[in-house]
Structure 1
Amino acid sequence: MKKIPLIIGFLLIFVAFAGGNSALAAENGAGFTMEALLPDNQLDNSSFFNLKVTPDSQQELSIRFTNLEDVPLELSVSPNPAFTNKGGVIEYSDYDFPKDSSAQYTISELFSKPQTVKLKANETKDVTFQLTVPKEPFSGTILGGFYALKAADDTEASDQSISIQNRYAMVMGISLIEDTETAVSPELKLNAIKPGLDNGHTAIFANLQNIQPQAFGEMTVDAKISKQGSKQVLKETKKDAQEMAPNSNYDFAIDWKNDPIEAGDYHLSMVATSGKKVWKFEEDFTIVNQEAEKINQQAVGLPEPDYTWLYILIAVLLLLILLIVAFILGRRKRKSDEEEK
């Protein structure tokens, strides 16, 4: 039987933030552990790097990796920035994630380059990264994590028709702060509103941006869309447990319920709540014909258009044309007959 090269990606992530034992990942099949070797400027007893740093300084940070397997393994380790993914969850999986317009610095900018770590069977090894704190002071928190991705492990199914690829990763958190006395309050901003596709389905996206260097969570977002000048709600999406990384943005998706996007003038009413913080947004936006048609053509799950009335109209027009032609030809024939007489 010819083998079908179907690859199933399975990503297990253990994030070491706010305590916890990194060895937990081994219980879930990662096959390795990572431990932060905490320096003197650690702020607390957390298992991740929670550091108070000073401007224009340098230091080395080390992570201890242990291979729990009886075979060698290879890890790609990178100092990644924290960002908010499209689901409204803080994530650390992309070293090259674009820098937010409100961010002063990112973790990737402050640390040395990613490394490839090779561990022999049951070997323990310390891996060191260089942290360079800029001369210009920063406020709030710079958040990220050392992201360790295990090299692909290909496992063939028993019928040898499917190739399954398991990917495992762990994240050791990094939190940098210079001023521990001044509290920074998060601030939410509404940016562009535009139509698009969410997993292939029609949606309206409202870009939310946390413009302050302070993470927050437990956010509820309730978004309603109506036609401009109308109070009737066309579509509404409400989501709980949303998170925002410091200085980050994401597109909040408002489900269009598998209906086609129609051109027109709309109004967005949105309320976001996190703790005692409440943000209210009222914004008009317009969808043009070309934009709507392109999205509808690419969407999945849209109902097939009903052309029945179009077919009836065409049939009526054709019949009318035939009647007119027959009438004209009939008049000409009668006229010709009269002239002959």
Structure 2
Amino acid sequence: MKVKTFTKVILTLVLGFCFLQKPAVQAAVANDAAQFTISPVYPREQRPDTTGYFALKTRPKTTVPVKVKITNLNSDTDVDYIVRVGNATTTDNGAINYTDFKTKKDPTAAFQLTQFVPKKERTQQVTVAAHKSTTVSINLRLPRQKFNGTIAGGIYVERMTNAHVDTKSKLSAQNHFAMTLPVLVSQQKHPDQVAQMKLKAVKVQKGPKISATLRNTRPVLFGKLKINAQITKQGQTKVLAQRQVQNYQVAPNSTFNFLVTDHNQLGAGKYTLTLHLQSGKRKWNLRQNFTITGSQGVPFTKQKGWLGLSQLIWLLIGFLVLLIVILCGIIIAQNKRLSKKNK
């Protein structure tokens, strides 16, 4: 019997930039199980106050050699590695993915990191001898056009699949190990730190599942983002659904979907989503109206009311109470008539 188990170790150096926060990084990325390490070989464009990742101050129309040293810690086996260059995006969970290979360039971005890399260098394969090191080179070719802020991405190194079969259990295991070094490219001594968050759209799916599409329209990377989302009926102030998060990180010129709620009692109708965002001294207050259709919202009969009971039960209780009151009224009226006749 064959069972494939996939264990992917992504060791990304997360950079939580904001006014009062410096990125926590290390000089090399390593993992005992992966049996290899990667470390940056800095070009002269490396900013002197940063280590452990590439933070490059560049000039237009120049070529910057970015090199990664791969060390094979396996003392017996030569190992193949694949090296890829990706762009930085923001995940829906509020983390920065420095090696996104699929997302197209955001409309608000002037460039993506992969635009600076020759196509043949965006994906490379290299074999590293046992207990040896190899350096992989990637050339960043900067355009003539100047750009503001920071362009972010990363270099992703994955050990090619090493499979083995346990002779006792006859289980086949495949382990995937990968590591990432962030790459930040800018042209100013002090890159722009003025971010701008916008509410692009409110998405409503059956459930109803409600999410906000948020976009950072500036080439600024920042972290420690707090989000407070509230849903009210249009024109009212009573909060019907709410979600709060903190420590989100946002990549430059990126878009992500923030899930406001996927478990609520909102029926069909018109609503307002209000978002309060804060990162250090940065603050944004965003608002947008949206509509939940009959097919998207919770049916009235399934909506919960007082004491957690469904609206249908309360409707039946109300009907029974009204019926009892009417019957009592009829009985009292009849008793009064009988009393008058007897007199």
The verdict on a shared fold, with TM-score over 0.5 as the criterion, is: yes
* Alpha-carbon shift at residue 84 of structure 1 (Å): 0.4
1:286 alignment partner in structure 2:
291
Q: Which runs of structure 2 are paired with 1:14-163 in the superposition (5 Å)?
A: 14-15=12-13, 18=23, 19-23=25-29, 25-27=30-32, 29-44=33-48, 45-69=50-74, 70-112=76-118, 113-154=122-163, 160=169, 163=172
Per-residue deviation, 1:88: 0.6
AA of the residue aligned to 1:277: R
Aligned residues: 290
Name the SS of the counterpart of 2:31 in structure 1: helix
Q: Assess if the C-alpha contact under 8 Å between 1:10 and 1:165 holds in 2.
A: no
Name the aligned partner's letter for residue 204 of structure 1. I
Match of 1:7 among 5, 13, 32: 5
| Residue 184 of structure 2 corresponds to residue 180 of structure 1 | no
| Residues 37/103 of structure 1: CA separation in 2 closer, same or farther (3 Å cut) | same
Judging changes above 3 Å, is the alpha-carbon distance between structure 1 residues 203 and 60 closer, same or farther for their aligned structure 2 residues?
same
Cα distance between partner residues in 2 of 1:231 and 1:50: 46
Native 8 Å contact 1:225 1:266 kept in 2: yes
% identical equivalent positions = 27
- Aligned mates of 1:237, 1:158 — CA distance in 2: 50
DSSP-derived class of the 2:103 partner: coil
Length-normalised TM-score, structure 1: 0.77
Relative to structure 1, is the Cα distance of residues 6 and 196 closer, same or farther in structure 2, using a 3 angstrom cutoff? farther
Q: Which amino acid aligns with 1:147?
A: Y
What secondary structure sits across from 2:52 in the alignment? Answer: coil
Q: Deviations over 1:157-189 (max 9, x none)?
A: 687476543221111121111122463311111
Structure 1 residues 120, 261: closer, same or farther in 2, change over 3 A? farther
Equivalent of 2:233 in 227, 230, 247: 227
Change (3 A) 1:235 1:26: same
CA distance in 2, matches of 1:38, 1:274: 31
Structure 1, unaligned runs of 5 or more: 294-304, 309-341
CA deviation vs aligned residue, 1:32-73 (integer Å, no higher than 9, x gap): 111211111211151222111111122322111110113122
Distance in 1 (CA, whole Å) between partners of 2:199 and 2:159 is 37
Runs of 5+ unmatched residues, structure 2 = 16-22, 299-309, 314-343
Corresponding residue for residue 271 of structure 2? 266
Corresponding position: 1:194 with 2:203: yes
Distance 1:38 1:263 in 2: 57
The residue type paired with residue 209 of structure 2 is A
Deviation at 1:110, TM superposition (A): 0.9
**Pair 30,21 (structure 1): closer, same or farther in 2 beyond 3 Å:** farther
Would the alpha carbon gap of residues 63 and 196 (structure 1) be closer, same or farther in structure 2, given more than 3 Å must change?
A: same
CA distance in structure 1 between the partners assigned to 2:297 and 2:258 by the alignment: 19
Q: Secondary structure at the match of 1:205?
A: strand
The alignment partner of 1:142 has SS state of strand
State how far apart, in whole Å, the 2-side matches of 1:95 and 1:7 are: 24
Deviation at 1:205, TM superposition (A): 0.8
Counterpart check, 1:216 vs 2:214: no
Worse-matched range after superposition: 100-109 or 10-19: 10-19
- Secondary structure (helix, strand or coil) at the match of 1:93 reads strand
The structure-2 alpha-carbon separation of the partners of 1:155 and 1:232, relative to structure 1 and needing over 3 Å to count, comes to: farther
CA distance in 2, matches of 1:103, 1:162: 47
**Contact (CA 8 Å) 1:9, 1:164: kept in 2 or not?**
no
**Secondary structure of residue in 1 paired with 2:108:** coil
The answer to whether the 8 Å contact 2:27/2:40 transfers is no
Q: TM-score, normalised by structure 2?
A: 0.76
Q: Distance in 1 between matches of 2:269 and 2:233?
A: 8
